[in-house]
Amino acid sequence: MSARKRISAEQRKESRKDVALAILNNVPSSPRKMRYVADMIRGMEVFKALGVLKFSNKEASKKVEKLLLSAIANWEQKNERKAETGELYVKIISVNEGSTLKRLRPAPQGRGYRIRKRSNHVTLIVDTYKKEDNEINNN
């Protein structure tokens, strides 16, 4: 690895120390359905987002709720203390398309219709409010 790449990699690692992320791969639901749930909690305070997800009727909300709990636990592990109410928020939540299983369903007159069973990948990053407030005040 060259010196330039090493310095760049160290800078990326340093910037990721402050935030905690959780990744959920190969969720067997369509990305469109998952994005609907992700849009509900984007930018919210984490404990408020947990309440929204808990009482949502969507199937995807159960998976995102578990992922959010994992991200909070990751943040607590990194900072060696418990998260307080109003301290953390959902900084980034992104849903990307995963692999698609292609299946055939029998159709009339000897034909077959293609069924696409989609999957998705969810990335969730939580961060503290206080860090952003300091950056705004410095500029």
Residue 20 contacts residue 75 (beta carbons within 8 Å): yes
The pLDDT score that the predictor gives to residue 136 is 54
Run means of pLDDT, 10 residues per run, the chain, 139 residues: 90 81 95 97 95 96 96 92 89 96 96 96 91 52
Query: Considering the domain boundaries, does residue 83 fall inside one?
Result: yes
Q: What dihedral do alpha carbons 27, 82, 132, 40 form, nearest 10°?
A: 30
Kindly list the distances between the CA atom of residue 36 and the CA atoms of 44, 51, 58, 120, in Å, as whole numbers in the listed order.
15, 16, 9, 13
Number of domains in the chain: 1
Query: Considering the domain boundaries, does residue 8 fall inside one?
Result: no
Query: Considering the domain boundaries, does residue 7 fall inside one?
Result: no
Query: Considering the domain boundaries, does residue 1 fall inside one?
Result: no
Quote the pTM value: 0.82
The residue assigned the tokens 């849009």 is 39
Instruction: Give the domain range for residue 23.
Output: 19-138
Give the CATH number of the domain where residue 88 resides. Answer: 3.90.470.10
